[in-house]
A = this chain, B = another copy of it.
Amino acid sequence: MSFQDADEHFSDAEVVGMETAISAARQGVRGANPLVGAVIIDADGTVLAIGHHLGAGTPHAEADAIASLRGTRRDLSAATIIVTLEPCNHRGRMGPCTQAILDAGIGNVVFAVADPHVPAAGGAQRLRREGINVRSGLLAQEARELNKQWFVAVAQGRPFVTARLAQTVDGRIAAEDGTSQWITSVQSRRDSHTLRARVDAIVVGTGTVLADNPRLTARDDAGMETAKQPLRVVMGMRVTAADAAVRGAAGSDASAEANGGFVQLHTHDPAVVLAELQARGIGHLMIEGGSRINAAFLAAGLVDELIVYLAPTLLGSGIPALKNLGITTLADAQQWEWDTTTAAGPVERMGQDLKLTLMPATTPAPTNLEG
């Protein structure tokens, strides 16, 4: 099934439903999983439920919409669930959406774009086998735009990669003497910890370990480690000391310890890091510096999302946010664009700072999305 397969007929109510589903999707957060929205309409087009996905580890959009109908005991055999992405068919943390749709007795499915993620794909096929009326391709272009970098990451068989910078207006992440705590506001740092709790892994270079000795744990406002902890990854050849904070048990309780973990990857090659983490089941990686590591991933074209916490301060010298991207002339500058796909928008205020979210401006069309 191709996402461009739009020879199907769609009713006006289905078109409006998909527009609503796309708007709902924008309320979510992206990472290991894409932004997804779902709308359930009955036979006369009345909207019965709207759902969206709030990020890995939370209910999928279909389940979210279906959950809001729980207890109504309504016959949904003539109803249609309209989803921005093909319902998944794998038993992930949340169970397959195909099963949830079958259990709810919904008779019709319309989705925009096929799910290219191998473990999740095949949802449409299974639903058809079970006698559900399934059509696809409605507003496929819009639905793809919503998650274009996520499709790229899936097509390349690697984790979705977020790079996080905390810098001054003039692009410095530390002063001449190496001091960097704290360039950004309390609110920005809190937001960073929310990101840490959301991603599956964080990577830093050995230089950052030596300079800052970070723990790389996700902590709440009280400084306590959150239940879900990312895998802590150090990349590079230098030895990470036995007493480095990054090696410490992530959690103060058993569940956190189970979630966290530490690994050093003895490479300077971002592609090797991503292949290794993909093999370990990491769906979302966050890069936390230093400038060489940031630049290595960026120069390789392996960053899907760039988050910049911009402090209203000036240093004039010190460590730049990025080192050498291999660019010598302006015509070769990396082109990005402000990420307007989420409801939060590309510019958010974080205390005294701005949080800027960008994505690559030009995305080579992946070739294996037609599956």
Contacts and interface: CB of A to CB of B under 8 A. Distances in A.
Interface of A: 167-172, 174-177, 179-181, 183, 295, 298-299, 306, 308, 312-318, 320-338, 347, 352, 354, 356, 358, 361
Contacts of A171: 167-172, 320-321
B331 A176 contact: no
A175 B327 contact: yes
B354 A338 contact: yes
B316 A335 contact: no
Contacts of A180: 330
A313 B330 CA distance: 10
Contacts of A336: 169, 312-314
Given A177-B328, A179-B330, A354 B347 contact: yes
Nearest to A353: B338
Contacts of A170: 167, 171, 320-322
A298 B338 CA distance: 29
Contacts of A356: 169, 354
Contacts of A358: 169, 312
B329 A177 contact: yes
21 contacts: A168-B171, A168-B333, A169-B336, A169-B356, A170-B322, A174-B330, A175-B327, A175-B329, A175-B330, A175-B332, A176-B327, A176-B328, A177-B329, A313-B333, A314-B327, A315-B327, A316-B322, A316-B325, A316-B326, A320-B320, A347-B347
Contacts of A298: 314, 316
Contacts of A331: 179
B321 A317 contact: no
